Amino acid sequence: MSTPDSLFTPVETSVAVEAKPSWHRGILDFPNPVNDYAARSTAGLVIVLAAIAIVVNQPWLYGVLTLGFALRVAGGPRYSPFGRLAVHVIVPRVWRKEKTVPGPPKRFAQAVGLAFSGTAFVLSLVGLGLAAQIVGGVLIVAAFLEFALGLCLGCIAFGYLQRAGVIPDDVCEACNDVTLFGRK
């Protein structure tokens, strides 16, 4: 039985333990692995919103797109309305299957999407609507490749950066051999 004094007795262990404050645990965690069909469904929703943003060319729509990417980078589908819709509605009713893939490359891809949507947002805010539309068009192409073909350009870039040593191997040991044409 534990006594109050024994609760604070140091314990020796050979296992390295990462100490995180209790308020931090889980707040910014990204799922690993992820369901590829949920990622593809989210990409489909991004295509729709980005297309509307390009047609209407209003800064606030690019802002909503940017916020969505920021929320997905922060915690995967947990905080993102598109992510939750994909995981809880679209995948169970449309795809009805699961294919797990490593999470870190998908998070990197969301960060790339954040950079592109954020760039379009800023360009739109400063009155460079055509430039914002072009950047939004590039985002649509990448999202379409993910949605229709399961080809994640950000994931491919992640694999190349990992092999180049920019991203450490221990970030995702299961995905350091991803290339444009599958595994090396």
Q: Taking residues 157-180, what's their average pLDDT? A: 81
Within a domain: 75: yes
* Number of folded domains that form the chain: 1
Domain of 73?
31-150
Q: pLDDT band for position 31 (50/70/90)?
A: confident
Residue with tokens 């690993």: 32
Q: What is the pLDDT of residue 33?
A: 86
CB proximity list for 107: less than 8 A, separation 6 or greater: 30, 73, 76
Within a domain: 97: yes
Q: Taking residues 24-46, what's their average pLDDT? A: 85
* pLDDT tens per residue across span 77-107: 889 999 999 999 999 999 888 899 999 999 9
Q: Taking residues 19-42, what's their average pLDDT? A: 75
Distance, CA of 11 to CA of 139 (rounded, Å): 51
Within a domain: 15: no
**Can you give the pTM of this predicted structure?**
0.81
Within a domain: 84: yes
Within a domain: 155: no
Within a domain: 26: no
Average pLDDT, the chain: 85
Structure tokens at 19: 């100490």
Q: What is the pLDDT of residue 180?
A: 52
